[in-house]
Amino acid sequence: MRYAIATGRGERDVTADLRGALAPVNTTHRAAITDPAKVGDLLRTLDGYTGQPATCAALRLAPLLFVRPGNLRAMEWAELDLDGSEWRIPAGKMKMKDAHVVPLPSQAVAILRDLERLTGGGRYCFASLRTSKRPMSENTINAALRRLGFDKETMTGHGFRAMASSLLNEQGWAPDVIERQLAHAERNKVRAAYNRAQYMAERRKMVQAWADYLDALRAGAADKVVPIKRNAPATA
């Protein structure tokens, strides 16, 4: 606009009228472990957690599902279809207010079936110790990580998302598939509507491959695991 005014193509800078109209996009960088060998160490440490069984289950699910910590702790049994290997999170619980379907790898289904014997009679998978009417505290996962020796500069509950995103991108999975799994908002609304139900088949393959990859890292195969290349175009 300044160029237009300087060259006589415009009379004034109309963009001044838009200043402050759009909120700035604030990006928060979360501490996360992304080195494969260190991820293996992390997973073995999580498996050794000796606190509450529900907290232990949440710690084991966090790297598998890499959902937002608030969604994980508020998981309800009514939202789960373990036979269909799906978790349907209602729109009201999502940051962007869109319902989100999370495909579950077989390892996550196994963890949830074990947990069902403990908390399946209530509403929440991870109920508060004080009352079954509320989910566990938002600080529970981070407190457990601190207890296991991971400070806030090393790993956080939210860091499991960054960990998965980083490694899955390195392995060649389609960025759109990863972003949809992370439930990141699509800025283009037309594209968002089209993609809402897209990529499910590819996401199912990805989460199972990711869970198997984590199992290999847990077994100490960081120097032997071949990254899973997925260069083919994503399909619905």
Per the annotation, the verdict on 30 as an active-site residue is no
Instruction: Classify burial at 174, counting beta carbons within 10 Å of its beta carbon; exposed 0-12, middle 13-18, buried 19 or more.
Output: buried
> What residue type is 197 in one-letter code?
A
Confirm if 86 and 101 have CB atoms less than 8 A apart: yes
Q: Which of 30, 184, 196, 204 is catalytic?
A: 184
143: Cβ–Cβ under 8 A, 6 or more apart, which residues?
none
Active site residue 161: yes
Active-site residue, 68 included: yes
DSSP, collapsed to helix, strand or coil, labels residue 172 as: coil
Pairing status of strand 100-103 against strand 80-81: unpaired
The alpha carbon dihedral of 126, 128, 163, 98 has a sign of positive
Q: Which of 12, 44, 88, 95 is catalytic?
A: 95
158 tagged catalytic: yes
Q: Determine which one of 12, 97, 191, 194 is catalytic.
A: 194
- For the stretch 172-180, contacts whose Cβ atoms lie closer than 8 Å and that sit 24 or more positions apart, written own/partner, are 172/227, 172/228, 172/229, 172/230, 172/231, 173/206, 173/228, 173/230, 174/199, 174/202, 174/230, 174/233, 174/234, 176/234, 177/202, 177/203, 177/206, 177/234, 178/206
Catalytic hit among 60, 68, 73, 180 = 68
Question: One of 60, 73, 100, 158 is an active-site residue; which one?
Answer: 158
Q: Which two tokens stand for residue 127?
A: 């109920």
184 catalytic residue (yes or no): yes
Catalytic residue among 73, 161, 218, 230: 161
The Cα 200–Cα 180 span in angstroms is 9
Please give the order of strands across the beta sheet that includes 80-81: 80-81, 86-89, 100-103
Catalytic residues: 68, 95, 158, 161, 184, 194
